[in-house]
A and B are shown apart, each in its own frame.
Chain A
Amino acid sequence: MSLRIYAIAYLVFLYAPIVLLPIFAFNDGTIIAFPLSGFTTEWFSQLWVTKALHNAVQNSLFIAAITAVMSTILGICAARAGAMYDFPLKRGILGLIMLPLVLPEIIVAVSLLVVVVQILDLGLSNWTVIAAHVLICTPFSIAILNGAFQNLDPSMEEAAMDLGESRWSAFRLVTLPLVMPGIISSMLISFTISLDEFIIAFFLTGANPTMPVYIWGLLRFPGSLPIVMALGTLLVGLSIILLTIAEILRRRGMARAGVKDKGGFL
Chain B
Amino acid sequence: MVSPPLIYALLLLAVPMGAIILFSFWTQNFMDVDTTFTLDNYREIITEPIYFALLKRSLFVSGTVTCVTVILAFPVAYFVSFHVPAHRKSLWLFLITIPFWTSYLIRVFLWKVILGYNGVVNTGLINLGIIDEPLTFILYNINAVIITLAHAFAPFAILPIFVALEKIDRSLLEASQDLGESKVATFFRVTLPLSMPGLVAAVLIVFIPTIGDYVTPELMGGAGGKLIANMIQTQFLALNNAPLGAALAIVAMICVTAVSLLFVFLNRHYLRGRS
Contacts and interface: CB of A to CB of B under 8 A. Distances in A.
A195 to B, nearest CB: 8
A163 interface: no
A104 B229 contact: yes
B104 A198 contact: yes
Nearest to B20: A111
A192 to B, nearest CB: 5
Nearest to A141: B5
Interface residues of A, number: 86
Nearest to B219: A219
A232 B212 CA distance: 24
A110 B245 contact: yes
Contacts of A73: 4
A48 interface: no
A266 B155 contact: yes
B75 A3 contact: yes
Interface stretch (B39-47, B175-183, B231-239): B231-239
A85 to B, nearest CB: 6
A111 B16 contact: yes
B253 interface: yes
Contact of B20 (A90, A97, A101, A110): A110
Interface residues of B, number: 86
Nearest to B107: A17
Q: Which 4 A-B pairs have the closest CB atoms?
A: A104-B212, A111-B16, A17-B110, A33-B118
Interface of B: 1-6, 8-10, 12-17, 19-20, 23, 33, 72, 75-76, 78-80, 83, 89-90, 92-99, 101-107, 109-111, 113-114, 116-120, 123, 151, 154-156, 159-160, 162-163, 166, 204-205, 208-215, 219, 229, 232-233, 236-237, 242, 245-246, 249, 252-253, 256
20 contacts: A4-B79, A16-B114, A17-B110, A17-B113, A32-B113, A33-B119, A34-B118, A90-B2, A96-B14, A97-B6, A106-B212, A106-B229, A108-B16, A110-B236, A199-B213, A236-B102, A240-B102, A263-B92, A264-B90, A264-B97
Given A3-B83, A198-B104, 5 more contacts: A10-B76, A13-B151, A81-B2, A87-B2, A264-B93
